[in-house]
């Protein structure tokens, strides 16, 4: 079971990053876009389960992004962010097909409650920690656990390990890593996958795990439990 992926479209970079960090700590995966056009492009990839969308954005505003998605019949749940002075926008936003809205400034608990309510409607159960062999991925803390030991994984490391663990010994190709983690940026993925795999191997070794990441040359990677 994959983690729910949330797209955060917000032009205040600090706020966008803070929101995605909060989401990540709660076991979601988050990606950000800092303008409307980029947000729309990312939403159109179909790789996100849920979207947090600010209304006031440079270039293309949040309501235009939302209208475009709904015209294209993309039914991704959308939580609109509005400033206090934009009361009319809330009504417009709901008319445009937003699922919910949140007025800025908001507190973390309020944001998470809205997100949980929206993602519950997706019918997915994200809080089962994936396991393979003697390892467990702790989704909320972003940790790789083996026995009594644990290490925190970087975001991309964690996403890669999650794909490997979820595949339960089946090969994960570089194309899949590129699609799921690098949003289809094949060049970026190809330059980085091997590096992250080597980090993950070191971490598995440091935990003395019996799980190893095997290279299937020219194809991809898979997990194996050594005897
Ligand atoms: Ca804004």
Task: Tell me the torsion sign for CA atoms 170, 171, 176, 177.
Answer: positive
**CA–CA dist 87, 206 (Å, integer):** 54
C-alpha 66 – ligand 1 centre gap (Å): 15
Cis peptide before 222 (omega within 30 of 0): no
Distance from residue 103's CA to the centre of ligand 1 (Å)? 12
Measured in Å, residue 172 CA sits from the centre of ligand 1 at 38
Instruction: Tell me the whole-structure pTM to 2 decimals.
Output: 0.55
What residues sit around ligand 1, an ion, with C-beta below 5 angstroms?
11, 54, 56
* Distance in Å, CA 10 to ligand 1 centroid: 6
Each residue's pLDDT expressed in tens, for the chain with a length of 227 residues = 457 899 999 999 999 999 999 998 888 899 999 999 999 999 999 889 999 999 999 989 999 999 999 998 888 999 999 886 666 777 788 888 898 888 888 888 888 888 888 887 665 545 568 889 999 988 878 899 999 999 999 888 998 998 898 887 888 888 888 877 887 788 888 888 999 999 999 999 999 999 999 999 888 999 999 97
Continuous segment of H or E residues that includes residue 17: helix 13-25
């Amino acid at each position: 079971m994959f983690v729910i992926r949330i797209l955060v479209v917000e032009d205040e970079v600090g706020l966008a990053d803070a929101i995605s960090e909060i989401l990540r700590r709660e076991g979601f995966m988050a990606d950000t876009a800092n303008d409307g056009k980029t947000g729309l492009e990312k939403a159109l990839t179909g790789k996100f389960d849920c979207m947090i969308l600010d209304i006031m954005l440079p270039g293309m505003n949040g309501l235009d992004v939302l209208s475009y998605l709904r015209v294209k019949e993309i039914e991704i749940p959308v939580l609109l962010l509005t400033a206090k002075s934009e009361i009319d926008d809330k009504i417009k936003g709901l008319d445009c097909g937003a699922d919910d809205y949140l007025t800025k400034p908001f507190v973390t608990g309020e944001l998470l409650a809205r997100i949980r309510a929206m993602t519950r409607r997706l019918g997915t159960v994200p809080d089962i920690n994936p396991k393979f062999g003697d390892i467990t991925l702790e989704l909320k803390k972003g940790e790789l656990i083996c026995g009594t030991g644990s290490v925190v994984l970087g975001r991309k490391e964690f996403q890669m390990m999650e794909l490997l663990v979820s595949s339960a010994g089946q090969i994960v190709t570089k194309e899949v890593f590129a699609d799921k983690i690098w949003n289809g940026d094949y060049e970026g993925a190809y330059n980085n996958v091997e590096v992250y795999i080597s980090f993950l191997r070191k971490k598995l070794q440091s935990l003395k795990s019996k799980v190893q990441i095997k290279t299937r040359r020219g194809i991809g990677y898979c997990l194996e439990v050594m005897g």
